[in-house]
Amino acid sequence: MDMDRTKSSQPVSVDAIVINNEQVAPRYHLLYLRLEITSSSSVSWLKGVEPGQFVQIDCRPAGILLRRPISIYKWSSEELCLTLLVQRVGRGSSYMCDLKTGDKINIIGPLGTPFATDPAIAGKRPLLIAGGVGMAPIIMLAHHLQQLLGVHPHLIIGARTSSLLILRDEIEQIGCSYSYTTDDGSYGTRGAVLAAPELEQGDYSMIYTCGPRPMMRAIHGWAKKHNVPGQASLENLMACGVGACLCCVENIANQGNTCVCTDGPVFNFDQLLW
């Protein structure tokens, strides 16, 4: 199946003002930004954002030279707003989580190759699986498929414990079916995402996933066993976003070392060697 994807917008550099920074769980923040428009290109790129793409955040005000990649969670070309889900892990993400209302940052985007969302590829019943900050692009994808394309996915979200199952209200408003798993059984099915009973109950046409690497590798194995095609969005460290620094390379089938920031972050399952 041909799952080639094209980028609909060229990336641009634009300043943005923080309009809210909401902590939604321990170590997780929703960062609400409003773009400062200086040209028509600043507006047009928002109109072309697709599920799976990301932005690069300038962290130099915190003394951090390299930009940090963050998946786009929500956007509005009418309101010139962008929402990002950030997990506090290191210095760069901590800088973003500590931003205050009114602070200004610089972003470059949209970057990366998006998920293939054509209904001919997604099929009648795609399965979407996410964990951690991988929830951001997968929830955006679920919304895109369900409300814009009329495709009805099933969504599985996994977390270590119930307090980390964030964005549940948003998930439950999409209109698609959904289920949850937690490692400790505090909410939904006990265990990892592959423990979800819905996994064996559906005749799925396509799988899309984003989250921790071991989770995605296990999902790929399940998909291969059940002969279901799929795509995974990798979360490699990306410093430049344009394929210049080579810090994000991944060994891809029939391609060798490949820049995740430009050829990805979304790859077909059959391309991934893990």
The answer to whether the CB of 267 falls within 8 A of the CB of 232 is yes
What pLDDT was estimated at residue 162? 96
Annotated binding site: 68-71, 85-87, 240, 245, 248, 261
Paired sense of beta strands 54-57 and 68-76, if any: antiparallel
Annotated binding site for [2Fe-2S] cluster: 240, 245, 248, 261
Q: Is 11's pLDDT higher than 90? A: no
Q: Is 75's pLDDT higher than 70? A: yes
Band the pLDDT of 132: cuts 50, 70, 90: very high
Q: Is 21's pLDDT higher than 80? A: yes
Give me the residue spans of the domains in the chain.
12-111, 119-271
Per-residue H/E/C for the chain: CCCCCCCCCCCEEEEEEEEEEEEEECCEEEEEEEECCCCHHHHHHHHCCCCCCEEEECCHHHCCCCCEEEEEEEEECCCCEEEEEEECCCHHHHHHHCCCCCCEEEEEEEECECCCCCHHHHCCCEEEEEEHHHHHHHHHHHHHHHHHCCCCCEEEEEECCHHHCCCHHHHHCCCCEEEEEECCCCCCEECCHHHCCHHHHCCCCEEEEECCHHHHHHHHHHHHHCCCCEEEECCCCCCCCCCCCCCCEEEECCCEEEEHHHHCEEEEHHHECC
Band the pLDDT of 202: cuts 50, 70, 90: confident
Same fold, 12-111 and 119-271: no
What pLDDT was estimated at residue 8? 57
What pLDDT was estimated at residue 6? 56
Strand partners, 200: none
pTM of the model: 0.93
Percent with pLDDT over 70 in the chain = 94
What pLDDT was estimated at residue 131? 96
**How far is CA 259 from each of CA 69, 135, 249, rounded to the nearest angstrom?**
14, 23, 4
Annotated binding site for FAD: 68-71, 85-87
The CATH code that applies to domain 12-111 is 2.40.30.10
Range of lowest pLDDT (31-45, 84-98, 115-129, 209-223): 31-45
CATH 3.40.50.80 given to domain 119-271: yes
**How far is CA 159 from each of CA 25, 96, 180, 186, 266, rounded to the nearest angstrom?**
12, 22, 8, 10, 22
What pLDDT was estimated at residue 157? 98
